[in-house]
Amino acid sequence: MTRALHLDRLDRRGFLTLASACGAAGVLTACSRTEAGTGAPREDAGLLARLREQGFVRVGFAGEAPYGFQDGDELAGEAPTLHREVFRALGVRELRPTLTEFGSLIPGLLAGRFDVVSAGMSITPERCAKVIFSEPEFVSPTALMVPGGNPKRLTDLASCARAGATVGVLTAAVEASYAKAAGVPDGSVKTLAKQQDGLDAVLAGRVDAFALTGISLRWLAGTNQGAAVEVATPFVPVVDGVKQWSAGGAVFRPGARSLRDAFDRELGKITADQGRYVGLIGRYGFTRNEAPPRSLRTADLCAGKGPA
């Protein structure tokens, strides 16, 4: 059923109809746990217990290194590594991954294809209106990948606007809004499906710069050694006078607050211990500089603010 039905608003005939459709035992369980308009399970305080019982949690990822990607047969990267550690601490042994395009992660989550997005997704007010985030897992300033030698002397998105440069961004990624705020015309922003497409577009001259988090671009350049590109010094974009920290976190359906809160308690133990943090995800290029400061809170990021 695609919309929730409330028993206190059903007459006897309505109750019997619902019981017939779902099975009498399911009236107060599976049939009532659907998100309005999506058909996805309506979460409740028992979700974590069910995940423990089944032994796995379904996670969505987008194949974006170093945040979440497939390395041979293993789900690798910053987010799956941290999430595996958190869920094991919560008594859930396994992550079961679903690969999808970045722009399909939130729709897939809301449709019930997976329980958590494990992709290093940036925490933004627009996304917070649809889903709920964990506390930040990392911060990573934005950077530009440019042709070797940086012929247009591009340093940030404002310099791209001044130079009339064409900027590549990933589909549904936050860099498109950063470019707009910096004055880059819509016609000069080109959307790309995946990271490698960005590097290829720079090499082919289809874009003058590819904007993404600095850590992603350093990883991309490292996996394409010898390519005639370079990564400019990272910068913190400003939108409406507010610095954009590019903080990322795990993503949950709006009804999964109990699961999210349990996740946050274990995540906080990791991010507060920088030695443990770097020990877990240092191999993906994350350092103590990427560990989120305690003052940076998801509630503030969702409200479009910086640290309190």
pLDDT digits (tens, 9 = 90+) for 193-231: 999 999 999 999 999 999 999 998 999 999 999 999 999
* Alpha carbon of residue 65 to chain centroid: 12
Closest CA to 195 of 180, 215, 179, 217: 217
Pull the structure tokens for residue 305. Answer: 């603010």
- The pLDDT value recorded for residue 245 is 82
**Residues paired with residue 142 on neighbouring β-strands, in sequence order:** 213, 235
- The pLDDT value recorded for residue 243 is 85
- What sections of the chain are H helices per DSSP? 12-22, 47-54, 78-89, 105-110, 125-128, 157-163, 175-181, 195-204, 214-223, 257-271, 274-281, 298-302
- The pLDDT value recorded for residue 18 is 34
Closest CA to 165 of 116, 215, 212, 202: 202
Q: Check residue 270 and give left, alpha or beta (phi > 0: left; psi -120 to 50: alpha).
A: alpha
Domains and CATH numbers, the chain: 1-32 (no CATH), 47-139+246-302 (3.40.190.10), 142-243 (3.40.190.10)
- Band (pLDDT 50/70/90 cuts) for residue 3 is very low
Strands 94-99 and 56-61 come out as: parallel
137, pLDDT greater than 70 = yes
Token pair 């819509």 is found at: 186
Closest CA to 283 of 23, 58, 80, 103: 80
Distance CA 150, CA 46 (A): 54
Single pTM value for the model = 0.72
Mean pLDDT of the chain: 87
Distance CA 220, CA 227 (A): 10
111, pLDDT greater than 90 = yes
- The pLDDT value recorded for residue 279 is 98
